[in-house]
Amino acid sequence: MINNQLLGKLIDIGLDEKEAVLYAAGLELGESSIQELAKESHIKRPTAYRVMEELETKGLFSKVSKGKKYYYEAEDPETIFGLYKTRQDAFARLLPDLKQLHGKDGKVPKVRFFRGMEGLKSMYLESLNAKETIVGYGSIDEIWGLSKEFINDYMKERIKRKIRVRGIVPSTSESQAFAKLNESQMRELVLVPKERFPLGNEINIYDDKVAVFSFKEMVGIIIESKDIAHTQKVVFELAWTGAHLM
């Protein structure tokens, strides 16, 4: 009788229940016909043929022809162990290339979409968890579309959490008034000519995230990617340096 504990362990290494039963039966019987194996494992003969094909493919059985009949012999467990160990070692060597295909450290950029005013507000609120200074571009005139009350509450919470902001914005009467409060609101703004740089939407970069807001279309996206965020931070620093030279 086949030990249930043994079957459980065979299933643990990747065999399904019928494969485990048939392989265990083959170990007990030795070289056997499919009829004998089906009887010992209590599997219907047509099913046993199908399962045996899988086990042959996996290298757990070999087939021997004797006259007009075929007999099957379960491979020695030591041989199976060596086979699985070889495959495991080969996969381990292949792992770095597979991870590179999947993305650095097994991660791929995550992109989330937001719609409507509440969606854009939730994007702002998410930045309150920033662990570093938020940098970005945008239009002060446009953000009031989310309501001044919301923006003022957001700024109070940002200041409370000691999250600094550095931004490049078009020069308007609104942004000029905004800039006068830079120091008290933990913010640095560089004003650029509106005619040359009519920024409409807003892009905020912090940690591993790039948040893009379109206030006119009321849609936004947040991209989570260490590489993409790093590149956008470099581009921001380039723009920041250029803006100071104007």
Whether the pLDDT of residue 12 is over 80: the answer is no
Give the residue from 225, 211, 224, 229 showing the smallest Cα distance to 120.
211
Whether the pLDDT of residue 131 is over 90: the answer is yes
What is the model's pLDDT at position 59? 79
Tell me the one-letter amino acid at 197.
Answer: F
What is the model's pLDDT at position 107? 65
* Per-residue pLDDT tens digits for 143-156: 888 888 889 999 99
Q: Which of the pair, 124 or 100, is modelled with greater confidence? A: 124
Dihedral over Cα of 145, 147, 148, 154: its sign: negative
Whether the pLDDT of residue 87 is over 90: the answer is no
CA distance 209 to 114: 15
* Per-residue pLDDT tens digits for 96-122: 776 666 555 556 678 999 998 889 999
Mean pLDDT of 124-147: 91
Mean pLDDT of 186-198: 93
- Provide the pLDDT confidence category of residue 2 given band limits of 50, 70 and 90: low
What is the model's pLDDT at position 104? 56
Mean model confidence pLDDT for the chain: 86
Whether the pLDDT of residue 38 is over 80: the answer is yes
What is the model's pLDDT at position 3? 63
- Domains of the chain: residue spans and CATH: 4-75 (1.10.10.10), 109-244 (3.30.870.10)
Task: Render the chain in DSSP notation, one character per residue.
Answer: ---HHHHHHHHHTT--HHHHHHHHHHHHH-SB-HHHHHHHHT--HHHHHHHHHHHHHTTSEEEEEETTEEEEEEPPHHHHHHHHHHHHHHHHHHHHHHHHHH-GGG---EEEEEEHHHHHHHHHHHGGG-SS-EEEE--HHHHGGG-HHHHHHHHHHHHHTT--EEEEEE--HHHHHHHTTTTTTTEEEEEE-TTT----SEEEEETTEEEEEETTTTEEEEEE-HHHHHHHHHHHHHHHHHHHT-
What is the model's pLDDT at position 103? 56
Mean pLDDT of 120-130: 93
Whole-number Cα distances in Å, 21 to 25, 35, 40, 159, 165: 6, 14, 9, 66, 65
